[in-house]
Amino acid sequence: MDNASNVSSQDTSRDAETLREKMIVDLKEAGDLTDPVVEAAFRKVPRHEFTPGASLEKAYSWFEAVPTKTNEHGVQTSSVSAPQIQAFQLEQGHVKPGNRVLEIGSGGYNAALIREVVGPTGQVTTMDIDKDVTERAERLLKAHAYDDVRVITGDAAAGVPDRAPFDVILVTVGAWDIAPAWVKQLIEGGRLVVPLRVRGLTRSIAFVRHGDRLVSESVRVCGFVPMQGANEHHTQVLLPTGTEEIGLKFDDEVMGNPSDLDNAVKTERFETWAGVTMGMQEPFDSLQMWLATRLDGFCTMAVNEDLDTGIVAPPNRWFAMAAVDGNSFGYVTWRRLETDKGRRLEFGVHALGPQAPELAETIADHIRAWDREQRGTDGPVFAAYPADTPDDLLSGERVVNKRHSRITISWPTA
């Protein structure tokens, strides 16, 4: 290596170290990194060397994922998750030295972090269904002396029986269901951390195993590329206008039919306001899940901005909480207010169709109930049972049936 190249390499290393330290500070200030052992792992593993092609600034952004593969339609199919999510998932899993950990969804960097945390007495297995992803992960792990991390190409629905049991199973792809093998291969009292999609909303849920039942211990908002293979599940979309202008996305059974809602979009839009306000940066993820558990026709709505004719006007075209009731549908909106507490947002509802006023008031009433009863709480507790569990053995206010499991959702007493 000539002198100029050597200087350039040293500059890159110094810049990376500086940005890595800033990333760690940002994660700690956000409350996503609290465990000193996990912090040491983030300091040890050079993230930029697991994200080739990304700038140092992108690699060490604490809240950004780095895409590593897209399909023929340009849809992202693999990425190195944002440090924020990697940090809180490791802490959700209570990953400790000596643990046996299975990571589902590979990339290399997260497996290296896990290996640093579990140490030489632990065991790390990482698997992915995509051979390109696992070959890349194996190459990067070996290049950084993580040769003892076992990399497997395969469908994660079957788990890895010959490496089980596991203390922790960490899923880093979006899952619609919980594979029975994951529960079976987890030790009693072990933790499954999974970005589970429930009624169209994804949450990173840390479950603890109690026999054949899983009970949540913590829940965080997150976003992941969807799982492929046997556990793959496609969202169903209802197009009320007969075009792709408005899409109502259902995670499970579609409520209503397009012809009824085609008439709905011809009616005048009804608007009502709930009188519930919040700060500009205040999170309201528990409201999303509250509405998802209270409204039978809950769905999410997206608007194609290239086809947008103004029939609906959500604050965010890509995502709005919505619900369908027969021949009508409504969605949650908000408006800015200047108050004695400063600038705030007030929640409201827009609805269309013959029953628009009634549906809008129903949704607004649920927003008010959340404000009275659940705002500021830790949110609901999730439990997962085998799919054949009878109703009388379930505990929870809402049951969501999936292929392999029955998910119950319980809210704390007001």
13 has catalytic annotation:
no
Q: What is the DSSP string of 63-130?
A: T--EEEEE-TTS-EEEEE--HHHHHHHHHHTT--TT-EEEEES--SHHHHHHHHHH-TTSEEEEEES-
Q: Which two tokens stand for residue 39?
A: 């912090």
Task: Cis check for the bond before 165: say yes or no (omega within 30 of 0).
Answer: yes
Q: 81, 204, 328, 405: which is the annotated catalytic residue?
A: 81
Residue keyed to tokens 């999936």: 402
Residue type at 315 in one-letter notation: P
- 367: phi then psi, degrees, rounded to nearest 5: -65, -40
Q: Which residues does residue 345 pair with via DSSP β-bridges, in sequence order?
A: 278, 336
Q: Which two tokens stand for residue 315?
A: 């604050």
59 closest CA partner among 90, 19, 116, 115: 19
Helix (H, G, I), strand (E, B) or coil at 294: helix
Segment holding 302, helix H or strand E: strand 298-303
Residue 265 near residue 352 (C-beta atoms within 8 A):
yes
Residue 281 near residue 195 (C-beta atoms within 8 A):
no
Strands (E), 149-185: 150-153, 166-171
Q: Which residues does residue 322 pair with via DSSP β-bridges, in sequence order?
A: 299, 331
Q: Which two tokens stand for residue 73?
A: 């339609």
Residue keyed to tokens 């604050």: 315
Helix axes 36-44, 109-118, angle to 10 degrees: 130
Helix (H, G, I), strand (E, B) or coil at 287: helix
Q: Which two tokens stand for residue 319?
A: 């995502």
Q: Where are the alpha helices (DSSP H) in 244-345?
A: 258-264, 285-294
Counts for the chain of helices (H) and strands (E), in that order: 10, 19
Query: Which positions are annotated as active-site residues?
Result: 81
